[in-house]
Structure 1
Amino acid sequence: MDGEQLGFFHMQTFLCKRCCFASLHLQRQHNRTFMVWLCCRGFIHYITTAIITSLFASQLEANSQSSTPKSRKVETTVATEKAAIEKLIFAYQDALNASDVNKVISLYTNSGVLMANAAPTAQGAEQVKGTYQYVFDNFKYTLQFDILGVEVKGNTAFARSISKGSFVIKASGQNVADENRELFVFEKENGQWKIARYMYNKTK
């Protein structure tokens, strides 16, 4: 190989090496750019996910806080109504034991109905009062009521109870053990709970 050909060969080798170096450099630059792009994309995805998760959690917390007072208010209202009805039942117990016909009648609605054990149904204030007056004229009760349950549905409520004790037959002075089961239906009248229907019978 003469000098001219040798020089040309060295020139080709040099250019080839430069091209390879340049190509390798560009490839490395491309790889760096690609890695940076991947990192940025991952970071953006992480930030977006974090923001969405935070917003979702905040909304859930807000909904929970807004619904909790409402549910507590409903629970408090129901508990208050049940307490008022239980108080009414014990007021009836006390009026019955005191033979106070006027007090008993004041606990009923104007259209109240009494379905007493082994007696005709009394409807309306006058008939109900007449039934109790007959009972109090002939018997003296000493009963203790035990409330088994109260259910409130708007302006209507229901209660079950049992009563145990005794009554005295005034004509003979005989003391008789007594045990009953009761069903009350209550309605609100002028904002106050009243007895709308009352039925009882003997358990024995």
Structure 2
Amino acid sequence: MSKISQRRALLLAAIVPALLIAGCSANNQAMKGAASPGGPTDMDSMSPEQSDTSTGEASPTGAGGQAESAVQAFFNALKSGNVDQVAESFSNEAVAAVNGQPTAEGSDAIKGLFQKQLAGANGWKQATHTIEESRTAGSDDAIVRSTSKMGNDNFRELFLLTRDGGEWKISQFMNNKA
């Protein structure tokens, strides 16, 4: 197992239980009729430092804010329909699991996946994206959770990011319909 794979496995082992607990807690609040911390916001009108987080507070301007900026750049590339910029948001060994599609592993597969996603999909230009939460996991890894609305469809996204040559790159991405 490569060093990168080991880091990813440890990162997943550390965060998945926490995210499951956070998700169950949010579902319990919704079932009780509790108000959510904030409504969806069009990320185009906000910088990542101003975006809603799970606590309703501004996100940190440090590594977590930089990881959010990388996710925002991914969303902006989707909205512009620029497949090359979308693919550049990912690390070379990234994995993307998009709702209803086969898992894409590596740069070429991810580029192909998003070419299919963006072909004829005019809804991406009007989509709204909200970064719900971001956390750093050490100095070189971060987790960003977001929600998106495209037409009548609502999606949940989970991004694992890592520093790659000083830049934050998406190393693992998963989305599904809410």
TM-score when normalising by structure 1: 0.55
Give the paired residue count: 116
SS of the equivalent of 1:138 reads: coil
* Equivalent-residue separation in structure 2 for 1:88 and 1:178 (angstroms): 24
In structure 2, the partner of 1:151 is 135
1:165 deviates by: 3.0
Alpha-carbon distance, 1:197 to partner:
0.4
Distance in structure 2 (CA, Å) of the matches to 1:91 and 1:144: 13
Match of 2:71 among 75, 89, 104: 89
Q: Residue 101 of structure 2 aligns to a residue in which SS?
A: coil
The one of 132, 143, 147 aligned to 1:162:
147
Percent identity over the alignment is: 30
Listed as ranges, the gaps of 5+ residues in structure 1 are: 1-77, 167-176
Higher relative CO (Cα under 8 Å, sequence separation at least 6) belongs to: 2
Deviation at 1:138, TM superposition (A): 3.0
Partner of 2:89: 107
Deviations 1:79-137 (A, max 9, x none): 41111111111111111111110000111001111100011000000000001111111
> Which structure has the highest helix share of the two?
1
Contact 1:93–1:143 (CA under 8 A) maintained in structure 2: no
Between the aligned partners of 2:175 and 2:150, the Cα distance in structure 1 is 15
Shift of 1:182: 0.5
Structure 2: runs of 5+ lacking an equivalent? 1-59
Distance in 1, matches of 2:144 and 2:158, equals 6
Rounded to whole Å, the distance in 2 between the matches of 1:189 and 1:88 is: 12
Residue 167 of structure 2: aligned partner: 192
- Alignment RMSD, CA only? 1.2
Moved over 3 A (4+): none
Letter in 2 for 1:191: G
Q: How high is the TM-score relative to the length of structure 2?
A: 0.62
Corresponding residue number in structure 2 for 1:118: 100
Match of 2:57 in 1: none
SS in 2 for 1:96: helix
Secondary structure of the residue aligned to 1:85 is: helix
- Structure of higher CA gyration radius: 1
Alignment partner of 1:131 out of 113, 120, 145: 113
The CA deviation at 1:185 is 0.3
More displaced, 191-200 or 82-91? 82-91
2:158 aligned partner: 183
Deviations for 1:31-88, whole angstroms, at most 9, x for unmatched residues? xxxxxxxxxxxxxxxxxxxxxxxxxxxxxxxxxxxxxxxxxxxxxxx64111111111
SS at match of 2:119: helix
